[in-house]
Amino acid sequence: MHHLLSIILLIAASGIAQAGTTVYQKPSDFIRSACGGQVPTSKYLTLTSSHQSKIRQLMGHEYRPARVRYWTHNGKMVVILDEIGKTRPITTGFVVNKGKIEHVKMLIYRESIGAEVRRTSFTNQFKGAVLGTSGKLSRRVNNIAGATLSTRAMMEMGRVALYLDQIRP
């Protein structure tokens, strides 16, 4: 009986952990909306050790993927990045046009708190931002109380999206 109770509690706990995942927009729908209604052929950017080193500076930690998938439409780059907020990945879409962030949309949020970073009042702060020579965003992004780690993750992804636009062919 005790063993059965343990199994039931384990199943319930895993359900609670999954309950934190919210899909605000499917990645394919984001790509389609950013690319004039179609999903163009994927392109891949292979990250050299030099690229990885620069990304490590921009993020403050290692970046695991060796290749990043992106799409282009009318000269714009569309990229979907993941970064850990507190403990779980935040999936965010970026549209970069001529070295400036044009659009940011949180697509999937998996944390239990901090989802306020999905609001357009927050993501609009990124519009027009460029990557400064110091590796910082050119625009100030105000923190959201209770969402400090999610805010930091969004800023890191913004810097990486701008850098990827600089190094893509």
Q: Where do the structural domains in the chain lie, given as residue ranges?
A: 21-167
The mean of the pLDDT values for the chain is: 89
Pick from 163, 162, 135: nearest CA to 52: 163
- What is the C-alpha to C-alpha distance for residues 164 and 160, in angstroms, rounded to an integer? 6
Instruction: Answer whether 89's CB lies under 8 Å from 63's CB.
Output: no
Q: pLDDT value at position 16?
A: 44
pTM score above 0.85: yes
Q: pLDDT value at position 19?
A: 52
Q: pLDDT value at position 22?
A: 94
- The total number of residues written for the chain in this structure: 169
- pLDDT tens for 94-115 read 999 999 999 999 999 999 888 8
CA distances from 109 to 51, 93, 105, 151 (A): 27, 12, 11, 12
List the structure tokens of 19.
Answer: 């309950």
Q: Percentage of the chain with pLDDT > 90?
A: 79
